[in-house]
Amino acid sequence: MEAYTLKLDPLTGEEYYEVHVRGEQVLAHPLLNKGSAFSEEERQTLGLAGLLRPAINNIALQQVRSLENYRDKRTDMGRYIYLQSLQDRNETLYFRLLVDNLREMLPIVYTPTVGEACLKMSHIMRRYRGVYLSPDNIRRIDQIFENVASPDLALIVVTDGERILGLGDLGSDGMGIPVGKVNLYVAAGGLHPTCCLPVMLDVGTNNQRLLEDPMYLGWRHPRLSGAEYDEFLERFVLGVRRSYPNALLQWEDFGKQHAFKLLERYRDRILSFNDDIQGTGSTALAALYTAMRIKGRKFSDERFVLVGMGQAGVGIGRHIKSALMQEGLSEADARRRIFAVDVPGLLTDDTPGLEEPQKAFAQPTGVAAQWHLETAGTVGLHDVVRNAEATVLIGVTGRAGLFDREVLAALGRNSERPVVMALSNPTSKSECTPQDVAKATAGRGLFATGSPFGSIEHDGRTIKTSQCNNLYVFPGMGLGVLVSKALKVTDRMFLAASGAIASMVTPAQRDQGLLLPEMEDVREVAAQVACAVAREARDAGLGRLLDDADIERVVRKAQWDPHYYPYRPGRADGRS
């Protein structure tokens, strides 16, 4: 039985919930509970009389109370737990609070605090959210999806917990990531909570700490691998296709040995994308579009050094290469402008052990033959920045302080406005800080970070820091794909998203050093990205044939604004 149904009054045009449960069942339902905001009529007709204190508050006053309680918490983990508890009680109020205070709360509901929460998830678990699939129940996936009380499900965020942020294998404790991403789809993208589902593919863990922890709540076995893992994933995808054939699937925080394979295997079989590869690449490209506008240069004028060639590094490299080719360069010429560095140093065609996605960014053998090297036979980061005359330096390594003063100063000598993007999460793992860049480049450097950093003062001026957060891309991507009813997610949709984001950075913001819009504007960013994605889907013959005005109207209509609907009693059996 459904607890409620969204209805439209044909006489007044009023949207309302027809509620099919009564009394404490209403208060126990997170999407129905209004707490002190129930009207007197609702209290009488829904069996709430005497269950609430007499005062009636609106949602604005409830926000004041909730924000006061939130700020009273002494630690970020305490704030995280408070917000999760609020969501468990009253989802509408939770999302209203999050939407109106996103800049303040983003570091709590997502990186970096969500990483700390995942490390402790089995110890702080309050209420289960989403679906947990394991080898013990995967064969009953259709029945499990029938248990999900979301008949209009449109979006699934799924992880197997193997590469949670920069923290590694956290098993099913990594569920905090899909839960956090779903919350951001709602708060930033405007999807309704009932449309979204976080999913954990609990295929075990190789984290010995978890396996030995009696409090660990996951499937207590070593990770599936090889054919067993592939069969598990296939059963999952087929189950999604049967139960939710029109849903969008977002792959999140998979190990790189699986992430690229899953993206390529399923991108044409099910509506899906990988946020760590494509979302990261698109966000970084948006920041680079703005940087090129500030510099007054083209991508083909630059030399890019990418450090850390995992999912994020490869995703960023692919987007840079696409931008270079859009300017008319051949793939070979584009490749020569991107210098990829990983553990062995500069990646070249003869570097042993290159993985297939990395090979596309390997420089020709012998490229460094005439270079002056600090250590003969080893081409390290310092060597690459100096000899390749790098002008853009991007790090996704998780190695704090990797971009030292010497590297940053060398970059500054190569360009009047060098670009530094230290994108590792959490903050403690950032390759450098904004202060490091400003000092080493006399304030000339343009920079973005993966974790939140505040503004800095340098030579009497304030320089703002952009957080290169995937939040700028994935909510709008999901919204645009869904409203356009796209048949697949394409690389060109991500390029369109990057362009839409960069176009929103105003001249005044660029003067302050911002490479991305202000975080407070992220809901409008999602709308603009969604429109750009829907237009690209239409033009590619993959989406609805709507003109630009209709696309914007549909996108705006689809964005849910957290507010309380009026309630009217319905039949207890759920039938009208």
Residues whose CB is less than 8 angstroms from the CB of residue 539 and which lie 6 or more positions away in sequence, other chains included? none
List b or e across 301-322, with b for residues whose CB sees 16 or more CB atoms inside 10 angstroms: ebbbbbbbbbbbbbbbbbbbbb
3-state secondary structure 322-379: HHHHHCCCCHHHHHHCEEEEECCEECECCCCCCCHHHHCCCECCCCCCCCCCCECCEC
- State the pairing for strand pair 338-342/304-307: parallel
Check residue 134 and give its pLDDT: 98
Check residue 432 and give its pLDDT: 96
Residues whose CB is less than 8 angstroms from the CB of residue 245 and which lie 6 or more positions away in sequence, other chains included? none
Residues whose CB is less than 8 angstroms from the CB of residue 373 and which lie 6 or more positions away in sequence, other chains included? 379, 380, 383
For 13, other C-beta atoms within 10 Å of its C-beta total 7
Can you tell me the distance from the alpha carbon of 325 to that of 338, in angstroms, rounded to the nearest whole number?
12
Beta-ladder partners of 131 = 199
- Fold of the CATH domain 4-57: Hemocyanin, N-terminal domain (1.20.1370)
At what angle are helices 474-484 and 548-558 packed, to 10 degrees?
110
Can you tell me the distance from the alpha carbon of 101 to that of 67, in angstroms, rounded to the nearest whole number?
9
129 phi and psi angles, rounded to 5 deg: -125, 140
Check residue 576 and give its pLDDT: 54
pLDDT 10s per residue in the chain (576 long)? 588 999 999 999 999 999 999 999 999 999 999 999 999 999 999 999 999 999 999 999 999 999 999 999 999 999 999 999 999 999 999 999 999 999 899 989 988 899 999 999 999 998 999 999 999 999 999 999 998 867 679 999 999 999 998 789 999 999 999 999 999 999 999 999 999 999 999 999 999 999 999 999 999 999 999 999 999 999 999 999 999 999 999 999 999 999 999 999 999 999 999 999 999 999 999 999 999 999 999 999 999 999 999 999 999 999 999 999 999 999 999 999 999 999 989 999 999 989 999 999 999 999 999 999 988 888 999 999 999 999 999 999 989 999 999 999 999 999 999 999 999 977 888 999 999 999 999 999 999 999 888 899 998 899 999 999 999 999 999 999 999 999 999 999 999 999 999 999 999 999 999 999 999 999 999 999 999 999 999 999 999 999 999 999 999 999 999 999 999 999 866 555
Residues whose CB is less than 8 angstroms from the CB of residue 257 and which lie 6 or more positions away in sequence, other chains included? none
3-state secondary structure 266-324: HCCCCCEEEHHHHHHHHHHHHHHHHHHHHHCCCHHHCCEEEECCCHHHHHHHHHHHHHH
Tokens of 163: 């590469």
Question: What one-letter code names the amino acid at 236?
Answer: F
The secondary structure of 119-172 as a DSSP string is HTHHHH--S--SEEE-TTTGGGHHHHHHTSS-TT--EEEEE-SSS-TTS---GG
Check residue 574 and give its pLDDT: 56
CB-count exposure of residue 58 (10 Å: 0-12, 13-18, 19+)? exposed
Residues whose CB is less than 8 angstroms from the CB of residue 238 and which lie 6 or more positions away in sequence, other chains included? none
Closest CA to 439 of 474, 403, 467: 403
The CATH code belonging to domain 61-270 is 3.40.50.10380
- The domains of the chain are located at 4-57, 61-270, 472-495+517-558
Distance of CA 271 to the CA centre of its chain: 17
CA dihedral 31, 109, 515, 399 (to 10 degrees): -150
Closest CA to 91 of 200, 182, 189: 182
Residues with catalytic function: 110, 181
Check residue 151 and give its pLDDT: 67
CB 519, CB 467: distance < 8 Å: yes
Q: What is the largest CA-CA distance in the chain?
A: 84
pTM: 0.94
Closest CA to 424 of 416, 437, 415, 433: 433
CB 484, CB 551: distance < 8 Å: yes
